[in-house]
Amino acid sequence: MSVRVRRVYEPPQPDDGVRVLVDRLWPRGLAKDAAHVDEWLKALAPSTGLRRWYHAGEGSYEEFRARYEAELTAPEAAGLLDRVREAAGRGPVTLLTAAREPGRSHAAVLARLLRP
């Protein structure tokens, strides 16, 4: 099972597999056809309140991760997470985000949850 995280602004790579955008908002300045996104799963993104709290610098990444993982237990998010997990079982999946630091973003939390 191969799951990786990349910025959506980076050019697609041949080994990306299924490219899944996991941000709630479409990335600024990026044309939809230039993104090469196979699926856009907005419901896997953190809630607006959690995203704003984290970006305001009010808490640590570890606290953000815990709160976000709690949000992912909601039925819609949990179902989408299972769907991406199944896709990763069939081939590579690349989680795309516009975050400046993908390794400390919600996409990294998702990748950790999806890896065996």
Return the domain boundaries, the chain: 3-114
Q: How confident is the model at residue 1 (pLDDT cuts 50, 70, 90)?
A: low
- Characterize the bridge pairing of strands 39-40 and 93-97: unpaired
CB 18 within 8 A of CB 92: yes
pLDDT at position 33 is: 87
Query: What is the DSSP code string of 5-44?
Result: EEETTSPP-TT--EEEE--SSPPTT--HHHHT-SEE-GGG
Find out whether 15 and 104 touch, Cβ atoms under 8 Å: no
Look at residue 96 and tell me whether its pLDDT is greater than 70.
yes
Assign 30 a pLDDT band (cuts: 50, 70, 90).
very high
pLDDT at residue 59 above 70?
Answer: yes
List the structure tokens of 106.
Answer: 């919600």
pLDDT beyond 70 at 100: yes
The pLDDT mean for the chain works out to 94
Q: Inform me whether the pLDDT recorded for 105 exceeds 70.
A: yes
More confident residue, 96 or 115: 96
Check pLDDT > 80 for residue 88: yes
pLDDT for the residue 80: 96
